[in-house]
Structure 1
Amino acid sequence: MTPLHIAVVNQNVNLVCSLIGRGADVATPRVTGLYFRKRRGGLLYYGEHILAFAACVGNQDIISMVINAGASTRAQDSIGNTVLHILVLQPNKTIACLVLDLLLARDVELDQAVPLDMVPNYRGLTPFKLAAKEGNLVAFQHLVNRRRVVQWNLGPLTSNLYDLTEIDSLVADDDRSVLELIVGSQRREARRILEVTPVRQLVSLKWNLYGKHYFRLLLLLYLLYIGTFTLCCVYRPLKDAPENYTVSDMDKTIRVQKTLKESYVTYGDNLRLAGEMISVLGALVILLLEIPDMLRVGAKQYFGQTALGGPFHVILIAYAFLVVLLCVFRVSGVQGEAVVMAVCLVLGWSNVMFFARGFQMLGPYVIMIQKIIFGDLTKFMWLSFIVLIGFSTSLWMVYMTQDPDSLPAYRSFPITLFSQFELSVGLIDLPVDHTITTPPIVHVLHCTFSVVSYILLLNLLIAMMSDTHWRVAQERDELWRTQVVATTLMLERRLPRCLWPRLGVCGLLYGLGERWYLRVEDRNDPLRPIVSNHHSHVPMARCVS
């Protein structure tokens, strides 16, 4: 850090002027060290160059002095961030927007081919995209308005053209459009950008004109597919078990799996073969669609983001893999396909819930189920497991000296553990036979287990689920919009481009170059009564196709 950096950050205008007058270099010096870098938990990120420091403190006199002395408005730090990127990351958003306007005005004087706000950092993010990713609603709205072109005004009505270059995934030059970044962001503030004009109108047009129809058609195809697989499982090839097949009186098996040659003989077998081929081909298609997306986004984000589908991608990939494994089992004659079929049926039908995101009434509740299962229920199961192990071991220590046939629920430790689990969730009655002598400690253990399991743990689970329900309910509309965007982007990647007509108008029609714009009519009447808090801060807007 140079003395000029210190003078700038302390807003000592006289010292800055004196240092520049004595020939201080304002373009080359950069701060170094971990403390000044952008990092998690860092308290300060002002970039590295003197101009960046001046912009972050917001003193326009110092900014003008530094630029006039030769500082470059396009200087980038070690991670490629320009001064505009750094301003987007500052907590004082109002001052950042004022400085941003000043810098853009000074940069226009240089007559560069690419505007300063279109210069990407080393991660491919322009200041506009970075504002969307970080959830900086103020900076994003400010940059949107700077790119807005006003067509006409008529009283409270205004017709605007909004630039879609970096917003629309079909117009963006790369796969990191604003919509992609919002969906991939883990910040709640980023989801609020979906309410900003023209993002809200663009998403609404895409979903209502094309997206929801394609998605519901996909739901119909999946239901036909999983129904076909279910019929193939129900009518799988079986034959009567040979004599002396069972080796235990407890084994009641009467039918076994046919061999490969015996499985495809009759006309019904050929029909089932057609269904099995559809099932396997469908599983291969699923793998070919899911794996590239996982590699593109990254496994952690792909499986961890509830808006992107989260656990449903795990379910779908596991289902497809097991269906292919079933094909291998059938061809090789391996016994035991019933277990794999059972798991496939559970996974395949569970994935139908993924399509609930296509309906506004059901979409947020599916996210609620995911959060309860992977949050509240996981914590509850850990606590329950500890309690079950303790009490099951205690009971087994008592019953291990008794006749196993006298109490079948406690004839072995695994059975004892399972019986206590059933008892904890109320699936069975108390497995105590009062016609035989029962040690008093058994009654003490059962009473204590009932108090801990029923009264304490179950009520704790109910309280946690109620809290999760309340939190998700607060974000209901945001989650629904995010699901709609994520679903639309998924369909755009997987369906042919010809099925997605480009929305908006070409700038050539208005002498604005080859960029695409969305025309939106806004009404901002200050005398219009506020009818609801929800619309009190959002002007009325209508998209004109």
Structure 2
Amino acid sequence: MGQTPLALAACTNQPDIVTLLMDNSKTNIKIQDSYGNTVLHALVTVTMDQEPHNAFIIQMYDKIIRSCKDKALESKKNKKGLTSMQLAVTEGKLEILKYILNREIKDDENRMWSWKITDWSYGPVSSIFYDLEGVDTSSKKSILEMLVYNTDIKDRHEMLNLEPLHSLLQMKWDKFARHMFLLSFLFFFIFDIIFTCLFYLQRKDDKALKLSQQNRSAFKPSGTKSWLQVLGHVYVLTCSICIIIEESFLINRLTFSDLQSVVSDAWFNIIFITQAVLVILSSITYMCGIEESLIFMVIAITLGWTNMLYYTRGFQSLGIYSVMVQKVILNDVSKFLLVYLLFLLGFGVALASLIEHCAEGEDCSSYGSFRTAIVELFKLTLGLGDLEMQKDAKYPTLFLILLIIYVISTFVLLLNMLIALMSETVDNISKESENIWRLQRASTILKFEKTIKFLFGDKFRLGVMHNFSDNDKRLCLRISKVKWSEWHRAVTCVQEEGVTQSKVKEADGFSSITAVDVSDRGRHPIIVQENEEDSDMEIFSSSEIQNY
């Protein structure tokens, strides 16, 4: 089947056979199967959602890399051009990716395999280096870009919460993305204001900026007002072209799995492009004297101010609320409208057919035509109509029965089902809304990062080059962490009177310590640290603490 003995033994949990093969000098550990997968790729492929199964996979993965002396094993690519870490991302293997990104090997011999290296720690505070090779956008085909742009990846929201991805995105947001986000907001806000002002100027002076019907080849605006309108139209046209180019580029970078992913992940991109196209059409048709320009302009203004919801992703609470609104519209409201449209068309045609045609000059029923029947039925759905039997219906009893059935089916049944489904949807996605918001913000950060790289190069790149050994130099991200819940240490609190506080009872993982006389503190230790692994006591004197 094109597999290798080492990969087969590792994936079927046979550690003795793995050891036997790896101890054999003739075994090529980096050998690839018919798909170009190494033994590490194979382990990633067979990872499942079951925790006991993943435990032996991770143990086997760790055993193999510790036994292998060549670090190139983990960076070796298969026929799809993916390393084992990239394969874990594309396959949605959350647990194995979490192990790889947080793997820390402290012995010097195997330290080169570490993606996480603790620089120093004191109490609950620790400073950690994370290797950014293949993680950040500075590397080609980085896992950060794969998670943001590939909509087919399972659990990609949870993967973005893993370290160092979570901290990396937050640092990028704080360093440059939030400032560019504010500038983008101001740019789009001014764009909407100018376009709205042009709309009202057009309504006040319907003849302004229109080409002469007799001479369409020359456009000669007169007066300051007309020149301001010309400049306004030039500005909105230029901005619209830039928006189309930018959003098309972003959509092109996305990898879609199905139509639903297109709509959900490219929701605002599609609306921005639609708005920009309508703005261009409205400006061109308006200056050419075409009356239908008002149609394009009205729809463009509506979309323009609706698109301001895009900038709610800069704030967590508003961003999560916007995600809920988006999900409700895509999931519940769209399904409701599809079913409701079928009812509306069916009953509209039936009721319009039951109305006898009126003679010219007579007062006809509101159901006399299909269009008016649709409007009246829609008013009934909202509770604004009435059930009065139409006098000129051919079969009044049948007409009334159809009206009653329609009201029960739409106003009573469909609307209440919509409310129930919307409530259920909000409850279901309330937990994942924050993750979706983080993904949307990550997409915005990477968009701004592309722009800032084009303008300033690597000036705003995160990470520093750090030498861990003579042959181990890496681009790393330093992250400081404070974990009180994992800190099993007890520290005496020294009072000004000269005596520490009374005994601290042994509870919640803290060791009990007795009071210490500060006047004799030179002979007494003031910090007692218990190592969880071997229960040895590490003692620091007051003079050592002062030196620290």
TM-score in terms of structure 2 length: 0.76
Paired amino acid for 1:503: L
Q: For 2:210 and 2:378, how far apart are their aligned partners in 1?
A: 33
Q: Provide closer, same or farther for how the CA distance between residues 59 and 177 of structure 1 changes in structure 2, counting only shifts above 3 A.
A: same
Give the conservation status (yes or no) of the 8 Å contact 1:183–1:191.
Answer: no
Deviation of residue 138 (structure 1)? 2.3
Q: Provide closer, same or farther for how the CA distance between residues 164 and 224 of structure 1 changes in structure 2, counting only shifts above 3 A.
A: same
Q: For 1:61 and 1:185, how far apart are their aligned partners in 2?
A: 40
In the alignment, structure 1 residue 214 sits paired with structure 2 residue 184: no
Deviation of residue 193 (structure 1)? 2.4
Deviation of residue 332 (structure 1)? 4.4
Q: What secondary structure sits across from 1:195 in the alignment?
A: coil
- 1:37-62 CA deviation, whole Å, 9 max, x = no partner? xxxxxxxxxxx323221111121111
Q: Identity across aligned pairs (percent)?
A: 26
**Residue of structure 2 in register with 1:51 after alignment:** 6
**Residue of structure 2 in register with 1:201 after alignment:** 167
Which of 76, 83, 90 aligns to 1:126? It is 83
Q: For 1:469 and 1:384, how far apart are their aligned partners in 2?
A: 22
Deviation of residue 305 (structure 1)? 5.3
Structure 2 matches for 1:296-311, cutoff 5 A?
296-298=253-255, 304=261, 308=265, 310-311=266-267
Which of 63, 88, 93 aligns to 1:102? It is 63
Give the conservation status (yes or no) of the 8 Å contact 2:367–2:373.
Answer: yes
Q: For 1:334 and 1:360, how far apart are their aligned partners in 2?
A: 44
Structure 2 matches for 1:333-372, cutoff 5 A?
333-372=289-328
**Residue of structure 1 in register with 2:119 after alignment:** 151
**Residue of structure 2 in register with 1:444 after alignment:** 401
- 1:141-182 CA deviation, whole Å, 9 max, x = no partner? 22122322222343554332110112222x21x143335425
Which of 461, 475, 478 aligns to 1:516? It is 475
**Residue of structure 2 in register with 1:470 after alignment:** 427
**Residue of structure 2 in register with 1:527 after alignment:** 488
**Residue of structure 1 in register with 2:270 after alignment:** 314
Q: What secondary structure sits across from 1:121 in the alignment?
A: coil
- Please identify, of 265-274 and 399-408, the stretch whose mean Cα deviation from structure 2 is larger: 399-408
In the alignment, structure 1 residue 270 sits paired with structure 2 residue 227: yes
Give the conservation status (yes or no) of the 8 Å contact 1:80–1:120.
Answer: yes
**Residue of structure 2 in register with 1:63 after alignment:** 18
In the alignment, structure 1 residue 419 sits paired with structure 2 residue 380: no
**Residue of structure 2 in register with 1:538 after alignment:** none
Q: For 2:276 and 2:300, how far apart are their aligned partners in 1?
A: 8
Q: Provide closer, same or farther for how the CA distance between residues 118 and 477 of structure 1 changes in structure 2, counting only shifts above 3 A.
A: same
- Please identify, of 225-234 and 81-90, the stretch whose mean Cα deviation from structure 2 is larger: 81-90
**Residue of structure 2 in register with 1:4 after alignment:** none
Give the conservation status (yes or no) of the 8 Å contact 1:88–1:139.
Answer: yes
Give the conservation status (yes or no) of the 8 Å contact 1:84–1:127.
Answer: yes
Give the conservation status (yes or no) of the 8 Å contact 2:323–2:433.
Answer: no
Q: For 1:230 and 1:301, how far apart are their aligned partners in 2?
A: 36
Q: Provide closer, same or farther for how the CA distance between residues 61 and 240 of structure 1 changes in structure 2, counting only shifts above 3 A.
A: closer
Q: For 2:279 and 2:245, how far apart are their aligned partners in 1?
A: 14
Deviation of residue 324 (structure 1)? 2.5
Q: Provide closer, same or farther for how the CA distance between residues 362 and 123 of structure 1 changes in structure 2, counting only shifts above 3 A.
A: farther
Q: Provide closer, same or farther for how the CA distance between residues 258 and 419 of structure 1 changes in structure 2, counting only shifts above 3 A.
A: farther
Q: What secondary structure sits across from 1:379 in the alignment?
A: helix
Q: What secondary structure sits across from 1:150 in the alignment?
A: strand
Q: For 2:259 and 2:464, how far apart are their aligned partners in 1?
A: 33
Q: For 1:387 and 1:303, how far apart are their aligned partners in 2?
A: 25
- 1:277-325 CA deviation, whole Å, 9 max, x = no partner? 00000011112212222233356679835774x2211111112222223
Q: Provide closer, same or farther for how the CA distance between residues 287 and 185 of structure 1 changes in structure 2, counting only shifts above 3 A.
A: closer
Deviation of residue 236 (structure 1)? 2.0
Deviation of residue 262 (structure 1)? 7.4
In the alignment, structure 1 residue 161 sits paired with structure 2 residue 122: no
Give the conservation status (yes or no) of the 8 Å contact 2:89–2:143.
Answer: no
Give the conservation status (yes or no) of the 8 Å contact 2:149–2:254.
Answer: no
Structure 2 matches for 1:235-274, cutoff 5 A?
235-236=201-202, 259=212, 264-274=221-231
Q: For 2:35 and 2:200, how far apart are their aligned partners in 1?
A: 58
Unaligned runs of 5+ in 1: 2-29, 31-47, 242-254, 532-545
Structure 2 matches for 1:68-79, cutoff 5 A?
68=24, 70-79=26-35
Give the conservation status (yes or no) of the 8 Å contact 1:150–1:158.
Answer: yes
Give the conservation status (yes or no) of the 8 Å contact 1:507–1:514.
Answer: yes
Give the conservation status (yes or no) of the 8 Å contact 1:135–1:192.
Answer: no
Deviation of residue 140 (structure 1)? 1.7
Q: For 2:419 and 2:78, how far apart are their aligned partners in 1?
A: 47
- Please identify, of 66-75 and 115-124, the stretch whose mean Cα deviation from structure 2 is larger: 66-75
Deviation of residue 264 (structure 1)? 2.0
Give the conservation status (yes or no) of the 8 Å contact 2:355–2:365.
Answer: no
Q: Provide closer, same or farther for how the CA distance between residues 257 and 453 of structure 1 changes in structure 2, counting only shifts above 3 A.
A: farther
Give the conservation status (yes or no) of the 8 Å contact 1:239–1:257.
Answer: no
Give the conservation status (yes or no) of the 8 Å contact 2:356–2:392.
Answer: no
Q: For 1:126 and 1:412, how far apart are their aligned partners in 2?
A: 65
Paired amino acid for 2:465: C
Q: For 2:299 and 2:34, how far apart are their aligned partners in 1?
A: 50
Q: Provide closer, same or farther for how the CA distance between residues 101 and 481 of structure 1 changes in structure 2, counting only shifts above 3 A.
A: same
Paired amino acid for 1:383: V
**Residue of structure 2 in register with 1:406 after alignment:** 363
Q: For 1:370 and 1:206, how far apart are their aligned partners in 2?
A: 26
Which of 317, 331, 340 aligns to 1:384? It is 340
Give the conservation status (yes or no) of the 8 Å contact 2:177–2:445.
Answer: yes
**Residue of structure 1 in register with 2:54 after alignment:** 93
Q: What secondary structure sits across from 1:167 in the alignment?
A: coil
**Residue of structure 2 in register with 1:429 after alignment:** 385
Give the greater-gyration-radius structure (CA): 2
**Residue of structure 1 in register with 2:461 after alignment:** 502
Q: What secondary structure sits across from 1:151 in the alignment?
A: strand
Deviation of residue 470 (structure 1)? 0.8
Q: For 1:411 and 1:130, how far apart are their aligned partners in 2?
A: 64
Paired amino acid for 1:104: I
Give the conservation status (yes or no) of the 8 Å contact 1:134–1:190.
Answer: no
| Aligned residue pair count | 465
Which of 224, 227, 247 aligns to 2:193? It is 227
**Residue of structure 2 in register with 1:12 after alignment:** none
- 1:358-406 CA deviation, whole Å, 9 max, x = no partner? 1111112222222222211121112112211221122112114445853
Paired amino acid for 2:13: G
Q: For 1:86 and 1:510, how far apart are their aligned partners in 2?
A: 31
Q: For 1:214 and 1:136, how far apart are their aligned partners in 2?
A: 33
